[in-house]
């Protein structure tokens, strides 16, 4: 595997932001010509470490060796010169530029563009053939799929003759098929002698793709192991520092009567684009319906329509009573009164007010509950704070201090606050979007248990997630959405990732586009 | 309306469109780089005052132009420091600079010349003289084309020709050079520029400086070519009209030329109520004609000309994300 020496060697890297020690004495060596995984929970310091490597931050102390030579990387330009290319989680592309223009930006040959463009066209052609990286050089970025945009990012790095390619959470926005293609590309790059660093929190990707894997926890490097000699369980334990249950434990569902019935639900957004195109389904008591799909295929609009946030057309009944979809009664407060709880996808914008204290956030949506009122005029803030403390205790929110603003909590603990607020009201229907996005493994386990417990208490749950593993392990039934429509329903016991992946890409079982 | 009148109207259109064109292209550089500039007006006014004063004091129009550019650059620099270095609100900075310019121009002119905030009238070499293009006189008698060449195209001061040449130049810079590519990129997605190892701050300051130079030319033209001296508030909202033209043109240089000519034409019409009356066969109040360019501005800004999508990162200070 290693063809003589290390592509990157970090020695004793430390970096602090004020009082927060983001990286503490990190040493790691990445052999040339390998795919090296770096995993860790959110806030473990992976991104900081990579930003140091790409010249976004300077390390407080420590040394970076590129191909055995100590190298200073004060800015991105130096990183590029040292042969490092970075594919960010959020692409750094100019949306209304062509592929070619994006590729040459910052790597132009001279003051005039014509020469650079024709050279780039030729180089891109060669690279496409070599690495299965075909994109139309004259296509405008905003017309390309996310998977293709990512290829442009990789091409950008290769055009700058990167020998070391760093990818930060590259599969979050991809369909399983696109992800497989990406990993094929990465293996191709490795086989040509390039070094790839893959940052991810998905254990399965690490196991399938990498040669070695380094685990980070709370700013330190816990260890580096050969992928072939480890297991997902061991990696998870290294990440969290204790044993973690990766599989969700749940008994078979015992379903009751129909709780939610949705007929022909459609949503048109403010630009007049139809986002949700007449979906129909039912959820029974004691059942989790999981909605799978690549982000942006109508799942958000479905949640918002049911949660009373977006105007919609169609017919929705909860326990036989019709829920208004527009006009009076189509709002979050009426929905909550009707027994619908909603954990929104974007907790920092829709779920919480980040500058408000935890106890204030716990009141939102339920602020007119009788137990929070002192009298007709005033709220009983002491009761509210006490209630918040109880909920934080029960949901293991750390630190359990109701007066701390929401932004002071980690992503996982913020999510626990929202989930506690909604689940503790004992709703008939729980709408929950991306329950574990940006949430660390320990908290994922906890939140999953709470969802299953609610289902076992005979409630109906609509789960939307772009994490296919999460959908498969939690759901009693899976619906796959593509382009605003439900492509089909599947039983998680009998379906497989390939079948779901095809549906997510808009193919029906017969392999034709819908 | 006869041909001669039409030619006169077009001649006036070109003279009046020139300051709009300089200011509009000025705004184009800045806004394409992601820095909104509502302070075109103030920069023009400062440049008009500075160029008229220096041209009068030195007797040289070229010194005047340099002074105008210098004065405009100072305001542009302040706008840059406020909105790029300190990431302030670009609209507030622009409005503030307009107020500063409005006051300071009159103050300085009064201090220097004590003529009620005006500069003395410029004469001779302190003012731009019309340039007669080659063969203008010889071709004058050729039917149709001759008078068009003589009346409309020939006989303008140097800055008019410079202004019209700036259009293809800007197009070429924007779409054919490395600088233009980076400029357009930084107004759309500064993070892409930053990660490519290019300085966002440097690019934006370069753009703001070009804006300063072009606004300087716009103001100098007002005071030393279109008119003979500076008078208080002489730009009369042309900076805002230029902004409207920029939106109308959807931030594209060649379209900016046509938009400025259109606004210039309306301004020319206001000067010739007799022509308007002759064409329409009824009397139009002069005040209405005067208001026409501004009414058009409001209509454009209110979005009656179709959807104009500004540069995506416009108005947003760039903060490097973690």
Which residues of B are less than 8 Å from A90 in CB distance? 191
**Chain A closest CA to B296's CA: distance in Å?**
26
Closest C-alpha among A495, A489, A488, A496 to residue A514: A488
Q: CA dist B140 to A138, A216, B2, B130, B144, Å?
A: 49, 83, 17, 17, 9
Q: Are residues A274 and A189 part of one domain?
A: no
Which residues of B are less than 8 Å from A105 in CB distance? 181-182, 185, 192-193, 196, 198
Q: Are residues A160 and A277 part of one domain?
A: no
For residues A89-110, average pLDDT: 93
**Chain B closest CA to A106's CA: distance in Å?**
5
Query: For position B321, what pLDDT does the model report?
Result: 61
Q: Are residues A204 and A77 part of one domain?
A: yes
SS3 content of chain B, % helix, strand, coil (to 5): 70, 0, 25
CA dist A352 and A332 (Å) reads 14
Q: Which of residues 194-213 of B touch A (CB under 8 A)?
A: 194-198
Q: Are residues A334 and A227 part of one domain?
A: no
Query: For position A212, what pLDDT does the model report?
Result: 96
For residues B66-85, average pLDDT: 97
Contact with chain A for residue B54, Cβ under 8 A = no
Would the CB atoms of B181 and A114 count as touching at under 8 Å?
no
| Domain membership flag for residue A395 | no
For residue A50, pLDDT over 80 is answered with yes
Output the 3-class SS for A440-455: CHHHHHHHHHHHHHHH
Confidence grade of residue B300 (pLDDT, cut at 50, 70, 90)? confident
Which residues of A are less than 8 Å from B188 in CB distance? 94-97
| Domain membership flag for residue A278 | yes
Q: Which of A106, A120, A272 is most worth mutating to test chain B (most B CB atoms within 10 A of its CB)? A: A106
Domain final residue, candidates A178, A212, A240: A240
Would the CB atoms of B193 and A105 count as touching at under 8 Å?
yes
Q: Are residues A229 and A270 part of one domain?
A: no
The larger pLDDT score, comparing residue A326 to residue B28, is at B28
Contact with chain A for residue B233, Cβ under 8 A = no
Which of A54, A56, A108 is facing B178, going by the closest CB pair?
A108
Would the CB atoms of B195 and A97 count as touching at under 8 Å?
no
Q: What is the Cα gyration radius of chain A? A: 25
Contact with chain B for residue A149, Cβ under 8 A = no
What tokens does B83 get? 């909105």
The runs of H, that is alpha helices, within A320-380 are 332-338, 358-363
| Domain membership flag for residue A334 | yes
Which of B177, B180, B312 is facing A95, going by the closest CB pair?
B312
CA dist A150 and A237 (Å) reads 31
For residues A215-235, average pLDDT: 92
Contact with chain B for residue A424, Cβ under 8 A = no
Contact with chain B for residue A116, Cβ under 8 A = yes
Contact with chain A for residue B290, Cβ under 8 A = no
Burial class (CB in 10 A: 0-12, 13-18, 19+), A382: exposed
What tokens does A499 get? 């079948």
For residue A3, pLDDT over 70 is answered with no
Would the CB atoms of B182 and A75 count as touching at under 8 Å?
no
| Domain membership flag for residue A414 | no
CA dist A498 and A500 (Å) reads 5
Q: Which of residues 294-313 of A touch B (CB under 8 A)?
A: none
CA dist A60 and B220 (Å) reads 52
**Chain B closest CA to A111's CA: distance in Å?**
5
Question: What is the per-residue pLDDT across A302-319, written as a single tens digit (0 to 9) for each?
Answer: 999 999 999 999 999 999
Q: Whole-model pTM?
A: 0.81
Q: Are residues A335 and A215 part of one domain?
A: no
The larger pLDDT score, comparing residue A31 to residue B294, is at A31
CA dist A186 and A506 (Å) reads 25
Using left for φ > 0, alpha for ψ between -120 and 50, and beta otherwise, residue B23 falls in: alpha
**DSSP per position, A202-254:** -HHHHHHH-SEEEEEETTEEEEEEEGGG--HHHHHHHHHSS----SPP-PPP-
Q: Are residues A263 and A235 part of one domain?
A: no
- Range in A22-31, A383-392, B206-215, B276-285 with the lowest mean pLDDT: B276-285
Q: Are residues A272 and A225 part of one domain?
A: no
Query: For position A41, what pLDDT does the model report?
Result: 79
Please say whether the beta carbons of B266 and B253 come within 8 A.
no
Contact with chain A for residue B5, Cβ under 8 A = no
Q: Are residues A219 and A170 part of one domain?
A: yes
Q: What is the Cα gyration radius of chain B? A: 20
Please say whether the beta carbons of A463 and A289 come within 8 A.
yes
Would the CB atoms of B176 and A111 count as touching at under 8 Å?
no
Query: For position B305, what pLDDT does the model report?
Result: 66
Domain final residue, candidates A176, A209, A240: A240
Q: Which of B172, B177, B178 is most worth mutating to test chain A (most A CB atoms within 10 A of its CB)? A: B178
Q: Are residues A291 and A228 part of one domain?
A: no
For residue A201, pLDDT over 90 is answered with no
What tokens does B33 get? 């780089």
Q: Which residue of A has its CA nearest to B189?
A: A94
Closest C-alpha among B128, B147, B129 to residue B138: B147
Which of B177, B189, B197 is facing A106, going by the closest CB pair?
B197
Say what percent of chain A tops pLDDT 90. Answer: 64
The CATH number covering residue A142 comes to 3.40.50.300
For residues B27-37, average pLDDT: 97
CATH numbers and ranges of domains, chain B: 3-125+144-301 (1.10.3470)
Which residues of B are less than 8 Å from A102 in CB distance? 192
Q: Which residue of B has its CA nearest to A156?
A: B196
Please say whether the beta carbons of A311 and A324 come within 8 A.
no
The runs of H, that is alpha helices, within B136-285 are 136-139, 145-147, 158-176, 178-188, 190-195, 200-221, 238-248, 253-271, 273-280
Q: Are residues A314 and A462 part of one domain?
A: yes
Question: What is the per-residue pLDDT across B88-97, written as a single tens digit (0 to 9) for each?
Answer: 999 999 999 9
Containing structural domain, residue A495: 258-348+427-504
| Domain membership flag for residue A308 | yes
For residue A480, list its beta bridge partners: A292, A488
Query: For position A38, what pLDDT does the model report?
Result: 95
| Domain membership flag for residue A54 | yes
Domain final residue, candidates A210, A240, A270: A240
Confidence grade of residue B190 (pLDDT, cut at 50, 70, 90)? very high
Would the CB atoms of B177 and A111 count as touching at under 8 Å?
yes
Number of domains in chain A: 2
Would the CB atoms of B196 and A95 count as touching at under 8 Å?
no
| Domain membership flag for residue A391 | no
Which residues of B are less than 8 Å from A93 in CB distance? 189, 192
Output the 3-class SS for B25-48: HHHHHHHHCCCCCCCHHHHHHHHH
Query: For position B237, what pLDDT does the model report?
Result: 92
Contact with chain B for residue A364, Cβ under 8 A = no
Which of B181, B182, B195 is facing A76, going by the closest CB pair?
B195
Question: What is the per-residue pLDDT across B205-218, written as a single tens digit (0 to 9) for each?
Answer: 999 999 999 999 99
| Domain membership flag for residue A250 | no
Confidence grade of residue A511 (pLDDT, cut at 50, 70, 90)? very low
Which residues of A are less than 8 Å from B177 in CB distance? 111-113
**Count of beta carbons in the 10 Å neighbourhood of residue B254:** 12
Q: Return the number of CB contacts < 8 Å for A and B.
A: 73
Question: What is the per-residue pLDDT across A58-76, written as a single tens digit (0 to 9) for each?
Answer: 999 999 999 999 999 998 8
- Range in A27-31, A86-90, A104-108, A418-422 with the lowest mean pLDDT: A86-90
Complex prediction ipTM:
0.89
The runs of H, that is alpha helices, within A257-331 are 299-306
Question: What is the rounded end-to-end Cα distance, in angstroms, of chain A?
Answer: 43
Mean pLDDT of chain A: 90
Instruction: Give the phi and the psi of residue A295 in degrees, each rounded to 5.
Output: -50, 140
CA dist A356 and A514 (Å) reads 45
Q: Are residues A193 and A45 part of one domain?
A: yes
């Amino acid at each position: 595997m290693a063809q003589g020496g290390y592509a990157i060697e970090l020695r004793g890297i430390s970096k602090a932001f004020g009082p927060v020690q983001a990286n503490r004495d990190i040493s790691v060596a990445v052999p040339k010509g390998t795919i090296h995984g770096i995993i860790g929970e959110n806030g473990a310091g992976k991104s900081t470490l990579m930003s140091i490597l790409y010249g976004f931050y300077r390390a407080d102390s420590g040394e970076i060796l590129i191909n055995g030579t100590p190298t200073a990387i004060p800015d991105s330009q130096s990183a590029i010169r040292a042969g490092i290319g970075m594919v960010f989680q959020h692409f750094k592309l100019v949306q209304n530029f062509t592929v070619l223009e994006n590729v040459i930006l910052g790597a132009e040959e001279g003051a005039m563009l014509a020469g650079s463009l024709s050279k780039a066209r030729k180089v891109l052609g060669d690279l496409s053939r070599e690495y299965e990286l075909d994109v139309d050089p004259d296509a405008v970025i905003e017309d390309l799929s996310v998977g293709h945009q990512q290829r442009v990012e990789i091409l950008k790095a290769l055009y700058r003759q990167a020998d070391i390619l760093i990818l930060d959470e590259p599969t979050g926005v991809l369909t399983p098929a696109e992800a497989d293609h990406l990993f094929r590309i990465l293996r191709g790059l490795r086989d040509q002698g390039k070094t790839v660093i893959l940052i991810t929190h998905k254990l399965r990707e690490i196991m399938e793709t990498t040669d070695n894997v380094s685990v980070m926890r709370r700013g330190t490097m816990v260890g580096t192991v050969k992928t072939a000699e480890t297991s997902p369980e061991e990696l998870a334990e290294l990440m969290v520092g204790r044993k973690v249950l990766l599989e969700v434990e749940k008994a078979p569902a015992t379903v009751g009567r129909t709780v939610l019935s949705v007929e022909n639900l459609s949503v048109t957004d403010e630009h007049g684009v139809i986002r949700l195109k007449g979906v129909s389904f039912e959820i029974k008591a004691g059942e989790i319906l999981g909605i799978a799909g690549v982000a942006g295929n109508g799942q958000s609009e479905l949640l918002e329509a049911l949660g009373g946030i977006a105007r919609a057309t169609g017919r929705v009944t909860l326990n036989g009573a019709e829920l208004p979809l527009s006009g009076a009664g189509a709002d979050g407060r009426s929905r909550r009164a009707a027994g619908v709880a909603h954990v929104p996808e974007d907790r920092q914008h829709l779920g919480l007010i980040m500058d408000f204290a935890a106890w204030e956030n716990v009141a939102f949506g339920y602020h007119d509950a009788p137990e929070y009122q002192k009298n007709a005029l005033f709220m009983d803030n002491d009761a509210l704070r006490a209630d918040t403390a109880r909920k934080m205790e029960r949901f293991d929110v750390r630190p359990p201090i109701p007066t701390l603003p929401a932004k002071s909590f980690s992503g996982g603990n913020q999510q626990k606050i929202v989930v506690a607020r909604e689940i503790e009201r004992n709703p008939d229907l729980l709408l929950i979007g991306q329950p574990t996005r940006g949430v660390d493994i320990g908290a994922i386990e906890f939140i999953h248990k709470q969802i299953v417990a609610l289902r076992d208490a005979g409630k109906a749950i609509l789960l939307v997630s772009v994490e296919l593993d999460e959908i498969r392990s939690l759901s009693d039934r899976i619906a796959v959405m593509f382009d605003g429509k439900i492509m089909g329903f599947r039983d998680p016991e009998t379906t497989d990732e390939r079948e779901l992946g095809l549906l997510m890409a808009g193919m029906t079982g017969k392999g034709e586009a819908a | 309306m006869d041909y001669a009148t039409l030619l006169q109207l077009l001649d006036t259109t070109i003279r009046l469109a020139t300051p709009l064109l300089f200011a509009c292209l000025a705004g184009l550089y800045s806004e394409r780089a992601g820095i909104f500039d509502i302070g075109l007006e103030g920069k023009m006014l400062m440049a008009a005052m500075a160029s008229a004063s220096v041209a009068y004091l030195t007797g040289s129009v070229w010194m005047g132009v340099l002074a105008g550019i210098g004065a405009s650059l100072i305001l542009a620099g302040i706008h840059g420091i406020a909105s790029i270095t300190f990431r302030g609100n670009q609209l507030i900075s622009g409005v503030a600079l307009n107020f500063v310019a409005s006051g300071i121009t009159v103050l300085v002119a009064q201090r220097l010349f004590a003529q009620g905030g005006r500069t003395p009238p410029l004469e001779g070499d302190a003012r731009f003289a019309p340039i007669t293009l080659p063969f203008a006189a010889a071709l004058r008698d050729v039917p149709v084309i001759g008078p068009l060449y003589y009346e409309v195209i020939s006989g303008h001061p140097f800055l008019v020709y410079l202004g019209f040449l700036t259009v293809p130049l800007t197009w070429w810079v924007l779409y054919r050079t490395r600088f233009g590519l980076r400029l357009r990129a930084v107004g759309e997605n500064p993070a892409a520029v930053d990660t490519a190892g290019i300085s966002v701050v440097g690019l934006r300051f370069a753009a703001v400086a070009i804006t300063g130079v072009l606004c300087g030319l716009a103001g100098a033209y007002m005071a030393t070519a279109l008119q003979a001296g500076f008078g208080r508030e002489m730009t009369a909202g042309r900076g805002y009209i230029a902004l409207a033209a920029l939106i109308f043109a959807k931030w594209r240089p060649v379209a900016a030329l046509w938009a400025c000519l259109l606004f210039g034409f309306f301004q020319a019409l206001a000067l010739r109520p007799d022509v308007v009356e002759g064409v329409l066969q009824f009397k139009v109040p002069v005040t209405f004609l005067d208001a026409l360019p501004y009414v058009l501005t409001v209509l454009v800004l209110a979005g009656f000309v179709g959807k104009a999508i500004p540069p995506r990162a416009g108005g947003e200070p760039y903060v490097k994300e973690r």
